[in-house]
Amino acid sequence: MTDLQTIQAIPPKVIAEIGCNHKGDMSIAKEMIHVAAYFCKVDVIKFQKRNPVELLSGEEYNQPHPNLMHSYGDTYGKHREFLEFSVEQHRQLKEWCDETGVAYSTSVWDMTSAREITALNPCLIKIPSACNLCFDMLSYLCENYDGEIHLSFGMTSRSEEHEIVEFFESKQASKRLVLYSCTSGYPVTFEDICLYEISRLRAEFGDRVKAIGFSGHHLGVAADVAAMTLGAQWIERHFTLDRTWKGTDHAASLEPDGMRRLVRDVRNVSKALAYKQDELLECEQEQRVKLKRTATRTNAAR
């Protein structure tokens, strides 16, 4: 048996990003954890952590939400404050995740949030596309957090990609860095998903970082299966209980059955991505006896 024949795909890890889709309600967040873990069977559940006063300028904080029907406050800053959980609430979220056997993680958007979440020591910390050039925060994580650092490349130029990877290499942290192919749109049209970016990232950075993933904001789950076949080792999708809920992320999120099907499909297709271990598989042997036509048998039948 050759090495080529033994190759089989490894199922990607699936992250259900609850983000702020809990609507600022811990009871909804707990229900979402249970549904994602028990019904959808995801590997990781991810939230978000922001300090709006630190993250936003005074002008940004005090301006109205750009889409008032989705606002939870009379300014954008108050909207963000309403949706924010404290570090103690995140500690509780982590405990709930631990109880259900699913990993807890969080995106961090500012230095204060990075410090707070580092203290919880999750299995991974995510850097969103919007913050991947915040090198002071990246430096803090490289120096104070020992787990995997996942980072999305949405809204990022090619030169910036190389700058980011070179920064992690300078911190001796590139081998715990996971890069995500990502298009920052909500939702993203199929024409803008650009799945071959996964192949490009693997070619350019695959031997320099720990893994390449895919973070999608599209509709359906077909593209995620394709992403896996192109080599994505992590798949991240926004998760909600109801896509009609108030909030801008829900429309680009998967509901429970969609997330369940995504997990099922990528795991099943990963089993199918293999070479035959023998020229004739065991399941073929009986069918060969019954169905296989040969010249000898055909002449004998005459």
Lowest mean pLDDT among 76-85, 131-140, 230-239, 279-288: 279-288
Contact 118, 144 (CB under 8 A): yes
In this predicted structure, the answer to whether residue 298 has a pLDDT above a threshold of 60 is no
Fold classification of 10-276 is: TIM Barrel (3.20.20)
230: DSSP letter: T
Q: How far apart are CA 47 and CA 38, in angstroms?
A: 18
Q: How far apart are CA 247 and CA 69, in angstroms?
A: 8
Question: What is the structure's pLDDT at 277?
Answer: 86
Contact 242, 250 (CB under 8 A): yes
Q: How far apart are CA 10 and CA 51, in angstroms?
A: 37
How many Å is the maximal CA-CA distance in the chain? Answer: 91
* Element housing 181 (H / E): strand 177-182
Rounded mean pLDDT of 116-134?
98
Whether the bond between 12 and the residue before it is cis, its omega within 30 degrees of 0, is no
Quickly list DSSP for 31-98: HHHHIIIIIS--SEEEEEE--HHHHS-HHHHHSPPSSGGG-SSSSHHHHHHHHPPPHHHHHHHHHHHH
Q: What is the pLDDT of residues 24-53, one digit of tens each?
A: 999 999 999 999 999 999 999 999 999 999
Question: What is the structure's pLDDT at 155?
Answer: 98
In DSSP terms, 15 is beta-bridged to 44, 236
pLDDT-based confidence at residue 8 (cuts at 50, 70, 90): low
Distance spanning both ends of the chain, measured CA to CA: 40
pLDDT-based confidence at residue 299 (cuts at 50, 70, 90): low
pLDDT: is 248 or 16 the higher one? 16
In this predicted structure, the answer to whether residue 254 has a pLDDT above a threshold of 80 is yes
For the chain, what's the residue count? Answer: 302
pLDDT-based confidence at residue 2 (cuts at 50, 70, 90): very low
Q: Which residues contact 258 (CB under 8 A, 6 or more apart)?
A: 220, 221
Question: What is the structure's pLDDT at 295?
Answer: 72
In this predicted structure, the answer to whether residue 3 has a pLDDT above a threshold of 80 is no
Share of the chain above pLDDT 70, in %: 95
239: DSSP letter: B
Give the count of alpha carbons within 13 A of 147, CB side only: 18
Q: How far apart are CA 249 and CA 18, in angstroms?
A: 10
Query: For the chain, what are the domain ranges?
Result: 10-276
In this predicted structure, the answer to whether residue 5 has a pLDDT above a threshold of 70 is no
Output the average pLDDT for the chain. 94
Describe the chain by its helix, strand, coil percentages, rounded to 5: 50, 15, 35
For CA atoms 61, 62, 68, 72, give the dihedral sign: positive
